[in-house]
Amino acid sequence: MRNRGPAQIPKRIDSIKFSLMNPNEIRKMSSVEVKTADTYKDDGHAYKQGLMDPKMGVIDPGVRCDTCGNKYEDCPSHFGHISLELPVIHIGFTQLIKLALKPRATVAVKFCFTTNPGLIQLTQRSPNRISTHKGSTM
């Protein structure tokens, strides 16, 4: 049998953690802050800080991406962000929130709304040990 090099040895994954990015992480990774809903000017060029800003990638042949410098075939695309005045709930989490708020006999869930936008802390506790906590609200 042939000796396998270190790159060919299968690796075991110990754990995987999924989480949401906080607003500061999103802003750091974002290539542009989108401030206008406009797409293209009358001359055919995209608006800066618009929905088709060239910093998020390009779709026209011969034009280069402002972020990575690649043409449209090679550009992986980049995302932008929109700063909102108030926090919003992502529609994908409504079922989770509904489930967490549903009364149960064996488990109670405590919500901790903080002043940090985008942070909702869920803590499971037994019903006998639930304590009331006056925290800040959004």
Cα distance between residue 104 and residue 93, in whole Å: 19
Walk along the chain (138 residues) and give the pLDDT tens digit of each residue: 555 555 666 778 777 777 778 889 999 999 999 999 999 999 988 899 999 999 999 888 888 999 999 998 899 999 999 998 888 888 888 888 888 787 764 444 455 545 555 555 555 554 444 444 444 444
Query: Which CATH code, of 3.50.50.60, 1.10.150.530, 3.40.50.720, 4.10.860.120, is assigned to 21-83?
Result: 4.10.860.120
Residue ranges per structural domain of the chain: 21-83, 91-129
> Which pLDDT score, from 0 to 100, does residue 43 have?
93
65 burial via Cβ count (<10 Å: 0-12, 13-18, 19+): buried
> Which pLDDT score, from 0 to 100, does residue 137 have?
43
